[in-house]
Structure 1
Amino acid sequence: MGSLIVLLVLCLPAVTVSYIGFCLVSPWGTCRRCGPATTANRRTCRTCDGTGMRPRIGWRLYVHFRRLHRDGTR
């Protein structure tokens, strides 16, 4: 049990930093609903507004906290 906790303590920051870096490098992902291959449903897709791309969850969190900080320091 102790080795599992140590493994989590060592791996969790590495995974978190890797995901943050991935979101900064590539903030847009493909839409899960319509995808990049199908163009027939793309006009009616509410998830991506017909673009085939949507922001990743990490990017949305980054933008939210950036706006929160900006609005709080004005």
Structure 2
Amino acid sequence: MPIYEYKCEACEHIFEKLVLKSDETVVCPMCDSMKTTKLMSSAAFIGGSSGGSSGVSCSSGGASGFS
């Protein structure tokens, strides 16, 4: 059961919703409007950029904190 992020078109409130079915109607918790839009997750944009860092990096030296 994925959690999606939505934006209400009526009051512009951004909220998360646990979606049980793909055709489920999502209602804004602030104003009860059914005019909501699913937002794109930032995780959907991994890779595909030209230049810059595209992920998390770790240092290659030093103490790891494990003994």
Shorter-chain TM-score tier: under 0.3
Q: Please, what TM-score do these two structures have when normalized by structure 2? A: 0.27
Larger radius of gyration: 2
Q: Please, what TM-score do these two structures have when normalized by structure 1? A: 0.25
The structure with more helix, counted as a fraction of residues: 1
